[in-house]
Structure 1
């Protein structure tokens, strides 16, 4: 019977190494950790409505680094016609008029995300394998290396996570 593919697309057989095959819930935890660290879902491409704060500037940053399309924009529940806004691929929405400043004032229906992220999926696989194999930790002086049971990136993996991480939002 084939494995059921989760929304993020990573299954235990995909990250198995030798005899180590993490359970799906450990992989899901690693995916959740990475997405939380990045500040957005990253992959796969999906449509969703996001609600963001506005600063009163005509440029609004949407929580994505890979914006494919914007189909709807509203400010304080008032629909803004498509000719009054444009967007960039890295998540900036420019309005022809300045919105009022405030929390959760702008909503946008967007299609965003990467089709696949093999480098990030590799990091998630490593994290899941480490979390599922606590015997692989060891002591160096008074420091435990390997963080048994933890689902966190290690130092070299942060470089990859940082590629997908949102910057500071205004």
Structure 2
């Protein structure tokens, strides 16, 4: 009988796991995206929903929005808005945004095509992870009970470089 409360290991077979440059780059990229709260690079099409409390101003879940293709309520009705690319804020022009879970649907293009400072943080973090004497995986769990990883972490100086790219922060 299997225990439904056992969570499988993220790396099922550590002996077959490759702690190589490609993996370290992916891990560093994930750390940057977690730190910033959005994908940062490259500029790409994004779509999704926003939970709101209503009001006249919302923030899209991305920075450097280069176009807004669609902004609708949950029923598909177009919303009238003004977008300020400097702050990333969107203002309702029709008395307020709808409130609730998944109240607003969006289709946008966002992200940077060229951000060498972000790329330098990516390379630095990936190289540092490669210098770890034990690699990224430092221990593995038994029966899914626990795991400990020396995950790529960002140093304070790297976090400071990412401040302009954080979601919610003003440029």
Residue 42 of structure 1, CA deviation: 0.6
Write the distance in 1 (CA, Å) between the matches of 2:130 and 2:27. 11
Q: Does 1:41 align with 2:45?
A: no
The secondary structure found in structure 2 opposite 1:134 is coil
- Give the distance between the partners of 2:24 and 2:93, measured in 1 at CA: 46
- Length-normalised TM-score, structure 2: 0.71
Separation in 2, partners of 1:85, 1:120: 31
Q: Does 1:95 align with 2:92?
A: yes
**Where do residues 89-128 of structure 1 align in structure 2 (5 Å cutoff)?**
89=85, 90-97=87-94, 98-128=96-126
Gaps in structure 1 of 5+ consecutive residues: 1-21, 137-147
The CA deviation string for residues 17-60 of structure 1, in whole angstroms up to 9 with x for no partner, is xxxxx511110110011111111111111111131111211211
Match of 2:77, SS state, is strand
Aligned to 1:152: 153
CA contact (8 A) 1:26 1:132 kept: yes
How far did residue 150 of structure 1 move?
Answer: 3.5
Using structure 1 for the length normalisation, give the TM-score.
Answer: 0.72
The structure 1 segments of at least 4 consecutive aligned residues displaced by more than 2 Å after TM superposition are: none
Which residue number corresponds to residue 61 of structure 1? 59
Q: 2:82 aligns with which of 83, 86, 90?
A: 86
- Cα distance in 1 for partners of 2:64, 2:55 equals 22
Say which SS state the counterpart of residue 112 (structure 2) adopts.
coil
Shift of 1:161: 1.8
Q: How many residues align?
A: 134
| RMSD over equivalenced CA pairs, Å | 2.0
CA distance in 1, matches of 2:63, 2:70: 18
Tell me which residue corresponds to 1:6. Answer: none
Q: Structure 2 unaligned runs (5+)?
A: 1-19, 135-148
